[in-house]
């Protein structure tokens, strides 16, 4: 089976950031959360006093200010074009996507693309609160082994943070834009 990271791998850009900005253009009331967002980001990146999961929960509070079903449908209608052509050419029915992005965000596009297996961060789409940890780094390996298991034939990612998955794969590839190179482990 082939396993793919999503953002900046098969999707051009960061889907969570793109969805946030898409919603911000529609729902100006999200601006009220800016001080809290900046505070959480500073606490994580500058001081390390909160985890990445808690920082993201703080950001996902914007979900309380939007119309999720409508916004998701409209977002993927306009952003589906960001799925990279190389992926569409090579796609298989057995593909697995593992991403730190929220499951509720990726589920519609995966379904549309025919990707049956998605492992992503479980974030309550109404409150932004995580059920578990952010699916990142070694957490991806843990969840892959727990939920799927087996051998990964080919793994694709844009990020060194995915080295743990690359290390358990027969072959791993680094994706930069549309350029794919073998990952030197």
Residue 174: alpha-carbon gap to chain centroid: 16
Closest residue by Cα to residue 50 from 106, 130, 116: 130
- Please answer whether residues 41 and 61 qualify as being in contact, where contact means their C-beta atoms are separated by less than 8 angstroms: no
Tens-digit pLDDT string for the chain (185 aa):
999 999 999 999 999 999 999 999 999 999 999 888 888 888 888 888 888 888 999 899 999 999 999 999 999 999 999 999 999 999 999 999 999 999 999 999 999 999 999 999 999 999 999 999 899 999 999 999 999 999 999 999 999 999 999 999 999 999 999 999 999 88
pTM score of the predicted model = 0.94
Instruction: Give the integer Cα–Cα distance in Å for 64 and 145.
Output: 33
2-34: buried (b, 16+ CB within 10 Å) or exposed (e) per residue? Answer: bbbbbbbbbbbeebbebbbebbbeeeeebeebe
**Which DSSP string do the residues of 7-54 spell out, in sequence order?**
BTTTBSS-HHHHHHHHHHHH-GGGGGGHHHHHHHHHHHHTT--S-HHH
- Please answer whether residues 16 and 168 qualify as being in contact, where contact means their C-beta atoms are separated by less than 8 angstroms: no
CATH tag for 2-13+82-182 (out of 3.10.450.50, 3.40.190.10, 3.90.700.10, 3.40.50.1000): 3.40.50.1000
Where in the chain do CATH 3.40.50.1000 domains reside? 2-13+82-182
């Amino acid at each position: 089976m082939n396993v793919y990271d999503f953002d900046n791998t098969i999707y051009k850009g960061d889907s969570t950031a793109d969805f946030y900005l898409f919603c911000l253009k529609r729902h100006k009331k999200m601006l009220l959360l800016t001080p809290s967002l900046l505070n959480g980001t500073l606490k994580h990146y500058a001081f390390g006093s909160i985890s990445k999961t808690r920082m993201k929960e703080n950001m996902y509070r914007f979900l309380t200010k939007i119309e999720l079903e409508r916004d998701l449908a409209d977002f993927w209608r306009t952003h589906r074009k960001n799925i990279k052509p190389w992926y569409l050419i090579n796609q298989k029915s057995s593909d697995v996507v593992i991403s730190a992005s929220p499951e509720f965000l990726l589920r519609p596009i995966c379904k549309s693309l025919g990707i049956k297996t998605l492992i992503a961060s479980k974030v309550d789409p109404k409150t932004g609160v995580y059920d578990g940890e952010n699916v990142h780094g070694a957490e991806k390996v843990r969840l892959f082994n727990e939920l799927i298991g087996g051998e990964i034939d080919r793994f694709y990612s844009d990020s060194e943070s995915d080295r743990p998955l690359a290390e358990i794969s027969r072959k791993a590839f680094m994706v930069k834009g549309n350029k794919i190179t073998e990952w030197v482990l």
